[in-house]
Amino acid sequence: MPNQVSTMISKSDFLLYCEAPRHLWAKKHECIDQQISDFVQHLIDDGNKVEGIAFEYLSTIFIPQHPGDQLLWQQTYSDGPYNARMDALVHKVRSDKYDLYEIKSSTGVDKDIVYDVTFQAVILGKHFSIDHFYVLHLNKVYIRSGELDLSSLFVAEDISEKVNATRSEVLHLREEALRVAQLVDSEEVEACLSPKDCPCPEICHPNLPEFSIYDIPYLSKPRKRELLGQGILEAKDIPLSFDLNDKQRLVAERARTNTEHVDKSSLGAELDRLQYPLWFLDYETCISALPMYDGYHPQQQIVFQYSLHRLDQPEGSLQHFSHIAVTTGDPSLSLYLIIAQAASKASYNLIFFL
């Protein structure tokens, strides 16, 4: 482990701190596995494609519609130990004010994006007079027909009021992020509350029991912190007096008694409703930020493979059908045709496994 850590806090550092303070500590102390999965790489590549298309939109469509305005692309600015690369700044020369455009491959704006833009806003305020803060994201109702229509593909959502309302909070949080990054001991930093998604489980959750409080379904963060404050980590140790809903209590009790729970009555009632033949469908999809084919909207799942089992009677033998599309066009078309042909041959019940 290095003796010194970076004293700079980037935008990504800040967002990592907001995710979980110990995640930032782990990154600064090189305790996070930098390898990324193929799926995450796909999302990164998708984001880069959207960024490129957004530049084309801003430079060839938006700016020509606003004569005299200037586009500043991916400039980096600092405010002491804090720095960020801005996606796009539009300099409105006549008023000598600027608009920030943060480019996202999402179809909306969530709290994390507001924090993201506000972190940039605080830095930019040291350099320019900023008029508006926009998130340039994909238009969820846009449906592709032919070539991409850039003027309809994007939505510029003005979040200036949200940014201004969040500014004081971000000023405080970025100071805390800098402090956390420079600490020596990770035990002084709050760990995350989601072990399954943690990028550094050996730092956040060493010696995690096989069945912990994190396995209680839909347990809120405040309730997790309450249990941790009582020194409770294992699900079996949750007191009977601790307030849980019926489903959560059922899981906690199974952990405490180390027994299974099977609701045979409800399960039997569901099975009795089924009529043969039964069909069991499993399918695979891939998501694309930009609509690749006609009829698709941004961030829509594309079906490209299925596996289908058919059971004609109880204790019968399963028949299996499958298909994977290998095509340069929309892969779902050949799947839909095959499934429609199979469906037309018999009445059936479909049980979906995602």
Could you read off the pLDDT of 327-345 as tens digits, one per residue?
A: 788 998 887 776 666 666 5
Average pLDDT, the chain: 92
**Distances, alpha carbon 33 to alpha carbons 23, 206, 311, in Å:** 11, 16, 45
- Lowest-pLDDT choice from 29-33, 59-63, 81-85, 145-149: 29-33
What integer is the mean pLDDT of 109-123? 97
At 160, the pLDDT band (50, 70, 90 cuts) reads very high
Residue 4 has pLDDT above 70, yes or no: no
Cα separation of 186 and 280, whole Å?
48
What integer is the mean pLDDT of 242-263? 93
What integer is the mean pLDDT of 249-264? 92
Using a 10 angstrom Cβ sphere, with 0-12 exposed, 13-18 middle and 19 or more buried, the burial of residue 13 is buried
Q: Looking at residue 36, what is its pLDDT?
A: 85
What integer is the mean pLDDT of 132-141? 98
**Tally of CA atoms within 13 A in the half-sphere of 310 that contains its CB:** 13
CATH code of the region 9-181: 3.90.320.10
Cα separation of 299 and 46, whole Å?
10
Q: Looking at residue 327, what is its pLDDT?
A: 79
**Which sign does the torsion angle of CA 170, 155, 107, 59 carry?**
negative
**Distances, alpha carbon 72 to alpha carbons 92, 103, 178, 329, in Å:** 11, 13, 28, 37
Task: Report whether 134 contacts 123 (CB < 8 A).
Answer: no
Q: How do residues 64-98 score in pLDDT, each as one tens digit?
A: 999 999 999 999 999 999 999 999 999 999 999 99
| Higher per-residue confidence, 2 vs 349 | 349
- Lowest-pLDDT choice from 97-111, 113-127, 163-177, 251-265: 251-265
Cα separation of 215 and 275, whole Å?
35
Q: Looking at residue 2, what is its pLDDT?
A: 43
Residue 353 has pLDDT above 50, yes or no: no
| Domain 274-353 falls under CATH 3.30.420.10 | yes
